[in-house]
Structure 1
């Protein structure tokens, strides 16, 4: 597929194009995850650059070639009227609470623009989850994208962590995360790609980001970056071929997160709090179903 076709696919993408329509979704949210300093922010800058005309490179997402990372908040960057890319806070030590925060970002339970603080206690996490119910977001179609630098060798322990994250992405979103390998020319990306495919990745695309010092548009580099966005949209189209229920799916994501926290905590008091939250989720689900049935008795819950 040539650059013109890729740009056209992205620029004219519509959630209404399928025979079932948008089913309640209003926006595609491309959620970026990865370890700190692996190039998430640079990838966002590159995506915006290849979708625009001209050779003027900008850095709307603050990026720096560092292993420490800069992103501390969930920051949103619109690519089109329908597609938004989100730079989530990168992982570092990946302890139980940090992993839970990652899934809270993936599930869209932390508002866009809010600073992400790695918490060290259950109560603080539950407070954030409760606050997310004040203005629940049901209308974003989430596509996970995992960014990994080929300059890094994947240790066995980290590989298992990434594999588990990929599996949980499928449970929460129904989509296998797209793998973006950055710094394509600075390592053996073919070996890293093979390892990700052995972990279950379906789409792995190696790219070289554009930067302030390397911003002359080339055919290969631009095509690789556009292919990532196009692959995400093809996943959305595929999922929308089946009946969806955005409200129910959000409830299921929250139940997954609560179960995940339950599995990683042992305190009896914590377990009691989780059980109480589960009951609140169950009651809220019943209320939503009753509301839908009362509004449209003929409507079947997907």
Structure 2
């Protein structure tokens, strides 16, 4: 199975990053979102990222122009009728993803692989709304996509070996390291990371230490490049809460219960860096 043309659904930070690395590694890319302004914002983000690479003399101006020409904008899901793989990077919400995959199943050719960049939701459940569950797979990139080397490849219950091997080859062509993961809540990355972040929030909630001191302990004592509360602000506290709720529901184990302080911050709109305030304040 050969992949030449890629459609990325969602032109936000993750989707634009996926589109960028695909274009930089020879793929023809359709970047899709609900509105032209969303796609344009994603293209501008890609342009800025590539310009930084030019400024650092890692790529040439000609390279940047060539990469950008490979990316085509879309606001019509019907553009999936000519692609070899769709990588969905839409909102982390099961109903949204099911709706998108049901539509893609009707539009995309029979050979097209349907991949999702979900960070925690069950691949098998998403695949169940299609007539091609063997061609549905999780392809979880890390943020920021152009920098981070890992991609979790998550098999659904029915994902075929051929599809897995094809997507693994693609990930390697994107200069990523692909790790095979089975379909459990949170996969590997967020099953380990989010409880750590949640426990860090509990230490603040219980008055054990300040956010700054919690982060210092983990940076200086555990050699983490970024403290867990800074990382939570970067990810988005709403996203952290959603993933913790997914883990709690999926395993039925109270060790995954979201900290009440996390819920309070999300209800207050303190979502982290994107909102200007989370555990820290941002200009």
Q: What TM-score comes out, normalization by structure 2 length? A: 0.32
Which is richer in helix? 2
Q: What TM-score comes out, normalization by structure 1 length? A: 0.30
